[in-house]
Amino acid sequence: MVTIFKGPIMLDIYDDINSNEHIPEIPESELSDELVLDELQKIKTRLGGRVVVLGHHYQQDDVISFADITGDSLELARKVAELKTAEYVMFCGVHFMAETADMLTESHQKVILPDLRAGCSMADMANRREIDLAWDYMKKCTSDKIIPITYINCSAALKSFVGENDGSICTSSNAEKIITWGLNQGEKLLFFPDQHLGRNTCFKLGIKLEEMVVFDPRQRNGGLTPEQIQKAKVILWYGFCSVHQGFNTSHIKTWRETDPERILIVHPECSFDVVQGADLAGSTSYIINQIKAAKAGSKFAIGTEINLVNRLAKTYPQIDIKSLSPYQCLCTTMYRVRPRWLLESFRAIERGQPINIISVDEVTKKYALKALDQMLFIS
């Protein structure tokens, strides 16, 4: 169970009793974007080390500008585990990331998600009841040892399931290491919730496509017979990222025809055909590092979230960077974290009434931490 302590969403403009500055009494609806950013900077300075702001790479620039630490899921998990003194961890990401942060921080620290609506459609494609039912069915179909591996993009309840069943969590950065470990622990893998990361990584490790099957929770018994379960080496959950699902082979074909010298680099959450058609594929950190290391004049088309693509283009003007898709592939749930909600979260802390605290119950946390610790140990 995850408890969320909600607070008001509307901005409460008030006189700051801890400074000589006066915050104008303007209704929230009339606050300009410039005033919001200005007040954010002031209040962040006043609160100092009491609050550490974490920002995922997919956030927009106006949010990232206030982040003390930026990174992908693995980087932020590692960094949050090192935070010992900050009273509050402001997580500018999505819900499952804030849950992970709560489990990895100290008991005296509070994790805040500026907008509780910032979720993840992929994470919502698997829930504990569905996984429990699927697991029971698979165990009846085979006597082989099945190792559960969950992508970090899932709820704390699913991370707990993995810990209870001696599996591990993975990210797109360490999926190869975790899957290799899993295959050394048992005869089969159950990989959820993202089928594409599982398929692309397993194929890269030498597992044949015909050795992988997809369990679709919308169908009875996942649409799989006992014989298919018994024969499979990897059982993939029917889940996907709505952002990376937006890239397709027609985009690959267009770039190959119009600009054959351009390097095509994509995230492994893209479909198998897109990954196979690209020149390079890897995690968010991998993509960033490839751009950092590229020579001036290099040309890239990147298949990942548009805020990151645009930020890379601004940061490295000497490199010609485009999106793989002609359409904006935007993480709309990540987009919900806006400076206005970040400001209200800061102000609530300053008032002594923090809001939107993410708290994972102790039983869930116990087994989820077991799976998280396994991941961090392996990687």
The model's pLDDT over 278-316, given as tens digits with 9 standing for 90+, comes to 999 999 999 999 999 999 999 999 999 998 999 999 999
Tokens for 287, please give them.
């993509």
User: Helix, strand, coil shares of the chain as percentages rounded to 5?
Assistant: 45, 15, 35
Q: How confident is the model at residue 9 (pLDDT cuts 50, 70, 90)?
A: very low
- What spatial distance separates the first Cα and last Cα of the chain, rounded to whole Å? 28
Q: Give me the pLDDT at residue 30, please.
A: 61
Residue 379 in this model has a pLDDT that exceeds 90: no
**Percent of the chain at pLDDT above 90?**
79
In terms of DSSP bridges, do strands 357-360 and 2-5 run parallel, antiparallel, or are they unpaired? antiparallel
pLDDT tens-digit profile of 10-51?
333 222 323 233 233 344 456 788 999 999 999 999 999 999
Dump pLDDT digits (tens) for 180-227: 999 999 999 999 999 999 999 999 999 999 999 999 999 999 999 999
The model's pLDDT over 77-110, given as tens digits with 9 standing for 90+, comes to 889 889 989 999 999 999 999 999 999 999 999 9
pLDDT of residue 353: 95
CB burial of residue 185 (10 Å; 0-12, 13-18, 19+): middle
> Which domains does the chain show, CATH number per domain?
2-119+333-362 (3.40.50.10800), 123-241 (3.40.50.10800), 244-323 (3.40.50.10800)
Q: State pTM to two decimals.
A: 0.84
